């Protein structure tokens, strides 16, 4: 699996590529999956760019119809990018759910339930208590 991102990616997209490739075991992706990974990198960067634009909007701008419309449009586009990014991540099996076999997930949940049964929950009363 090459660690070098394709030349068609921007610098920011190339960073995402290297992060993804570096976090996967060898042989996780074949070359046939590269177009999806390229799309994923682009969606991640677009989502970040949209979030920066949303963060720059001043709250008082939403009092104007045009400001509220702009915010609504930005949020809608950001949601589409997030959906596309998530679809690519699932197709590439990058999500934790996709990387864990259902039986393994079930065993992990079962183990947590056993620990929860043994250990009492932390409450505001027990959180500040000093053990004796």
Predicted pLDDT at 38: 97
pTM of the model: 0.71
**Whether residue 42 has pLDDT greater than 70:** yes
Q: Calculate ∠ Cα 60-62-63, nearest 5°.
A: 70
User: Each residue of 48-57: pLDDT tens digit?
Assistant: 999 999 999 8
3-state DSSP assignment of residue 100: coil
d(CA 43, CA 15): 13
What number is the average pLDDT over the span 49-78? Answer: 90
Of 19-23, 61-65, 77-81, 104-108, which gets the smallest average pLDDT? 104-108
d(CA 21, CA 75): 29
Predicted pLDDT at 1: 47
């Amino acid at each position: 699996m090459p660690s070098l991102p394709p030349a068609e990616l921007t610098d920011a997209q190339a960073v995402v590529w290297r992060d993804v490739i570096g976090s996967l075991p060898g042989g996780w992706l074949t070359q046939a999956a590269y177009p999806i990974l390229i799309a994923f990198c682009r969606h991640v960067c677009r989502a970040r760019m949209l979030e920066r634009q949303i963060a720059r909007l001043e709250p008082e701008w939403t009092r104007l119809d045009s400001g509220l419309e702009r915010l609504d449009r930005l949020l809608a586009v950001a949601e589409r990018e997030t959906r596309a990014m998530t679809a690519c991540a699932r197709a590439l099996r990058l999500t934790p759910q996709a990387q864990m076999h259902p039986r393994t997930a079930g065993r992990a949940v079962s183990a947590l339930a056993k620990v929860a049964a043994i250990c009492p929950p932390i409450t505001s009363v027990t959180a500040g208590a000093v053990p004796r």
